[in-house]
Each structure stands twice: as C-alpha cells, then as structure tokens.
Amino acid sequence: MKILVYLKQVPHQDARLDVSGDGTWIKEENIKFEINSYDSYALEEALKIKDQDATSEVIVVSAGPERVVQALRQALGMGADRAIHVRDDSVDATDALGLAKTLANVAKAEKPDVIFMGFMSDDGNFAAIAPMVAELFGVPHATAVIALTRNGDTFIAERELEGGNLEVVELKAPCLIAVQTGINQVRYASLKGIMQAKKKPVDPKSAGDLGVAGQLAAKVAIEKIYVPAKSATAEILQGSADEIAEKLVAKIKELGLL
C-alpha cells in the first residue's frame, strides 16, 4: 500500500505561550515544538501497515517553516520512507481551505491508497483539514477514529461519539482516516532508525510546485488571539503546602466528607 501521512509541527504542550507582536498568533522564538499529538498516532497506524506488508511505502508530509524538517526527520526515524516539506510563506498564512487545497494537491500527485491524518491540531484546534482534503482529493473519510482494522483494501473504522458510543463504518481504499488520540501505542524512533533517517529524502515543495500559487487568500482571517478574561474564578488558597492542606481539610470537613 502507498500511504500518505500528514503531520503538523505544533508548540510543545508544556511551552509557555505569548501572543506575537501583531496579536494574531504566538511568538515562535524560544519555544520548543513537537509533532501534533494526534499525528503521532496517525503515523503509527501507517507504520503498523508497513510492519505487516514491507512493500508498503509511507510518505510523510508537513507544511510549515524550516523548523518542521525536524518533525519530518523524527517521522523518518520512526520508519517513514520519505518526506515532503511544503515550504511557502503563503501556505503558512492561509486558512483551513487554503491549506487543504495545498495538501490535497500533494495527494493528487502521489495517488496514495490510504491517507492517515490527525483528527485535530493541538494548536489551531480546527479539526478541519481531514474532511477537506478527502473532499478535494475525492475519497471517502472517517473522523475521530479510535479503532481500525484492515482486510485487504477494506477498512473498518470505529468513530468515537459522545458518551462512550462508537459508530462503526466501512470504507474502501483509496480513503482517508483521521485518528483520535489513544488509537494505538506510538513507537519511539530507534537509534538505527535515526541514523537511517539521515539518508532518507526530504523533498521541498512550494505553492507554485503544487499549483496553488495565487489561490491562497484567506476567506476567514484570524484577527486576534488573547488569553480570555475568566468568566468566574476559584478562590485561590495561599500559603505553604502544609497550610494549604490544612485549609483544604477544613473545607472537606465542612462539606461533611471527613
């Protein structure tokens, strides 16, 4: 199987976030980045297929500035075969539709049998790109997939619904699967993998190469991001750990629970 995995590099989940000078995104200087949590699970699903069928090819694709090469190298270290780096300022500044058009054109050029993506990004939280890419590439999709089995080119996907219910759907390749976190246990890159990754190709592509130059004007624009004023806030206990513990004990007694 030919498998495409889209992955985004996002600020590390423990990074301290500060709003950028123009107020529309965060300051990228001096923070660590990592592979979007959902996308590590997407890559693992792809690598599981490759484990069963060594003739499979896993291609990882990421759009973003120079720093995303780090994420692509990590994915190659975990076992992906080659990488495509979409590097263009106009792609980085567009909205979900513009990004989806760009990424769908990678799929049109590569013609994969299956695409794995994350359900959502840890930073933008749009949960937009997967169904959009599926539509533009012309294949069926399933989102929030928490279990997946494959029989030849048929996939049985369990979609997570509210309250613990699962919706079981069947799709045939070519198709796109957007995974939920927890669908598998993600492997680590081995030392050997990391060494081998250095020789694997990372192919750069511009908006022009992908035929989307001039088509990326945002239809919806992020005007501003900010730390919201809290609608309500808890009374914050002060003091040393032991003093705080005493105050909590008093409260728990008052509630009649001690």
Partner 1 sequence: MGNILVITELQRGKIREASYELLSFAKKIAAAKGHSVCSVVLGKDVAAEAEAFAKRSGGPVYTVANPVLENYNVDAYCTAIQAAVDKAKPELILVSHTPSGWDFAPRIAARLDAGFVSDCFNIDATGDLVFVRRVFGGKMDARVAVKSTPVVATFQPGATEACQDSAAGSVEALDVAIDAGALRTKFVEVKAPQAKGVDLTKAEIIVSGGRALGGADKFKEVIEPLAEALGGVVGASRPVVDAGWLPHERQVGSTGQVVSPKLYIAAGISGAIQHVVGMKGAQFIVAINKDPDAPIFEVASLGVVGDLFEIVPALTKAIKAAKG
Contact footprint for ligand FAD (CB under 6 A): 6-8, 13, 25, 36, 38-39, 42, 61-64, 92-96, 99, 117-118, 120-121, 124-130, 144, 218, 220-222
- Angle at 3 (CA atoms; ends 79, 102), nearest 5 degrees: 110
Residue 93 binding target from partner 1, ligand FAD, none, CB below 5 to 8 Å by type = ligand FAD
66/75 Cα distance (integer angstroms) = 15
Provide CB contacts within 8 A for 27, sequence distance 6+.
18, 19, 20, 21
Provide CB contacts within 8 A for 235, sequence distance 6+.
none
Q: Which two tokens stand for residue 44?
A: 């693992």
We find the least distance from the C-beta atom of residue 137 to ligand FAD, in angstroms, to be 13
Q: Which is nearer to partner 1, 163 or 201 (CB)?
A: 163
60/72 Cα distance (integer angstroms) = 7
Q: What is the DSSP-derived secondary structure letter of residue 184?
A: S
Q: Which is nearer to ligand FAD, 23 or 138 (CB)?
A: 23
We find the least distance from the C-beta atom of residue 63 to ligand FAD, in angstroms, to be 4
Residue 246 binding target from partner 1, ligand FAD, none, CB below 5 to 8 Å by type = partner 1
We find the least distance from the C-beta atom of residue 251 to ligand FAD, in angstroms, to be 19
We find the least distance from the C-beta atom of residue 172 to ligand FAD, in angstroms, to be 21
Q: Are 115 and 107 in contact (CB under 8 A)?
A: yes
Residue 33 binding target from partner 1, ligand FAD, none, CB below 5 to 8 Å by type = none
Residue 249 binding target from ligand FAD, partner 1, none, CB below 5 to 8 Å by type = partner 1
Residue 54 binding target from ligand FAD, partner 1, none, CB below 5 to 8 Å by type = none
We find the least distance from the C-beta atom of residue 74 to ligand FAD, in angstroms, to be 14
Q: Which is nearer to partner 1, 40 or 74 (CB)?
A: 40
247/239 Cα distance (integer angstroms) = 10
Q: Which two tokens stand for residue 121?
A: 């990004």
Residue 63 binding target from ligand FAD, partner 1, none, CB below 5 to 8 Å by type = ligand FAD
Q: Are 27 and 13 in contact (CB under 8 A)?
A: no
Q: Is the peptide bond before 201 cis (omega within 30 degrees of 0)?
A: no
- Angle at 10 (CA atoms; ends 64, 104), nearest 5 degrees: 45
Q: Which is nearer to ligand FAD, 195 or 217 (CB)?
A: 217
Residue 8 binding target from ligand FAD, partner 1, none, CB below 5 to 8 Å by type = ligand FAD
Provide CB contacts within 8 A for 223, sequence distance 6+.
24
Q: Which is nearer to partner 1, 54 or 257 (CB)?
A: 257
